[in-house]
Amino acid sequence: MTDTQLLFFNRSHIFIKPLQNRRFGFTRVQKYNQFFSSGLIHKRIQCSMKSYRLSELTHAEVQSLKARPRIDFSSIFSMVHPIVDDVRNRGDASVKDYTERFDKVKLEKVVENVSELPDPELDAAVKEAFDVAYNNIYAFHLAQKSAETSVENMKGVRCKRVARSIGSVGLYVPGGTAVLPSTALMLSVPAQIAGCKTVVLATPPSQDGSICKEVLYCAKKAGVTHILKAGGAQAISAMAWGTESCPKVEKIFGPGNQYVTAAKMILQNSEAMISIDMPAGPSEVLVIADIYASPVHIAADLLSQ
């Protein structure tokens, strides 16, 4: 099954909006670009999607489809350990060296204080999309905020359950070929609601050493205090150990590749004394829909992964 859909992207390839009143199809992805003076890119994307009927598959075929990719962390740990130790010993200089080596970016400054950065200029439609997402995420996580409870479980004995925010947190937002401002919101909004005093967001820099303006917009909106312009194991190490310019954090959140995951796993069992959310696994999504579901909504849920 194939179909087409008109989409609008800005020059950072951030999705703006679909053209109304068109069906949204899906796989082999073909893109046709048309540039406008406004900076928007008009893309016609044709894609299709493989489908399987469970009743027609053998047990072996089902198991093959369900199988997840496996990562040999023993070999990755041997590559990440030297980076972790080097950042601990050399701080900012080490982060700069690894950023130049892996990202081909020569940094003058490793960490930016968010309050000192000017507001980024974004298209109105992009701002509106992020504002809507921010409000939705904020409302959801605000409902999770627990109230202080007190119970007198026996005469003269009162027990309380009290939630306290973590003083400092590190948030990892992957970059590279695809920028993920949505991840910046998903991570920083809960920290904002919790009342974390120091929020360090790490993300790989652009080729000119700048911060992706969409990520910066989301970071400012959600109360991030510092942005570490680095990615990979070196960014995780900088937040865990602390450097001359990067505050040391107590807990690190966020997804990443196998090197980021390995660094988090190493550092949670080190003298850095940090905790992590969890080792990230493969991105998966399950959409349950019947014949009455909107194809646009189903496609958007699938494509969001």
Q: Quote the pLDDT of residue 301.
A: 86
Residues 205 and 264 in one domain: yes
Q: Quote the pLDDT of residue 29.
A: 44
Q: What's this model's pTM, rounded to 2 decimal places?
A: 0.79
Q: Quote the pLDDT of residue 24.
A: 38
For the domain that residue 174 is a member of, what is the CATH number?
3.40.50.1980
Residues 120 and 78 in one domain: yes
Q: Quote the pLDDT of residue 38.
A: 52
Residues 102 and 251 in one domain: yes
Q: Which residues of the chain have pLDDT under 70?
A: 1-49, 305
Residues 30 and 106 in one domain: no
Q: Quote the pLDDT of residue 72.
A: 81
Q: Quote the pLDDT of residue 70.
A: 77
Residues 50 and 81 in one domain: no
Give a three-class secondary structure readout of 27-65. Answer: CCCEEEEEECCCCCEEEEEEEECCCCCHHHCCHHHHHHH
Residues 40 and 114 in one domain: no
Give me the number of domains the chain comprises.
2
Q: Identify whether 66 is part of a domain.
A: no
Residues 37 and 108 in one domain: no
Q: Identify whether 304 is part of a domain.
A: no
Domain limits at 231? 73-142+165-276
Q: Quote the pLDDT of residue 272.
A: 98
Residues 2 and 130 in one domain: no
Q: Identify whether 267 is part of a domain.
A: yes
Residues 48 and 176 in one domain: no
Residues 45 and 169 in one domain: no
Residues 183 and 115 in one domain: yes
